[in-house]
A and B are shown apart, each in its own frame.
Chain A
């Protein structure tokens, strides 16, 4: 009887400890649907973070000055700040959001990704600090050939 009780407790404790790890993975398309339908960067940031109070520091962003192919523009971004999420927005396409990374304890927060832009515009990276600040970097670039086919 004693043993059975002990086992039961252990299993319960295990189950409890397993839950936070599962919750950590957040699907922002489900939890924040408005971010993905917002047409402007300001609206998307507001939908994501509830604020437009951006701090222009703490994030490094690398993208070409002129992109010959708007269908695959290489964008690199990184931050050394202690952050919860990092998001990429742009103002050249019908909707603003490109991606949101849910940062985990293993994240180094140095990313490269290829994105589409229909015309010249500005890329905005927002890193949501654990201190509540929205660390931001922006880069405006020319797109020679649009990548969304209109």
Chain B
């Protein structure tokens, strides 16, 4: 299973999240060049995040995120508190999944 590094900080009612998934993000063109077949392309297609079972991020993605994609997002923190667990998940084109979690600081 893949991994994802996550940091989350609650400030002024907003949770700031920084996340990095470890993934090659092989595009169709790269796969064709390196392996001779477009079918070897593989990249993260969906990323989601939840706290206490509530979805706070839901994102469909293509091969054009950078290698080891890194991104930041924010969500309203009124219902959440420091110490709550933020869980993130990704799934790639081949069906492999990755997970990451952190406590909101």
B72 contacts A99, C-beta separation under 8 Å: no
By size class, the interface of chain B is: 20 to 34
B48 within 8 A of A: yes
- Chain A 70-90 against B: per-residue CB contact (8 Å), 1 yes, 0 no? 011100000000000000001
Determine if A27 and B60 form an interchain contact, defined as CB atoms under 8 angstroms apart: yes
- Give the contacts of B19-40 with A (CB-CB under 8 A): 25, 27-30, 33
Q: Which residue of B lies closest to A87 (CB)?
A: B60
A17 in the interface (beta carbon within 8 A): no
List A87-113 residues whose CB lies under 8 Å from chain B.
Answer: 90, 93-95, 97-102, 104-113
| Residue contact B27 to A101, C-beta cutoff 8 Å | no
With A25-B55, A72-B67, A100-B60 known, 15 other A-B pairs at CB within 8 A are A24-B55, A26-B58, A36-B62, A73-B66, A98-B62, A99-B60, A99-B61, A102-B60, A108-B73, A111-B71, A115-B65, A116-B64, A116-B66, A147-B66, A148-B27
Binding site for A on B (CB under 8 A): 14, 25, 27-30, 33, 45-46, 48, 54-67, 69-76, 79
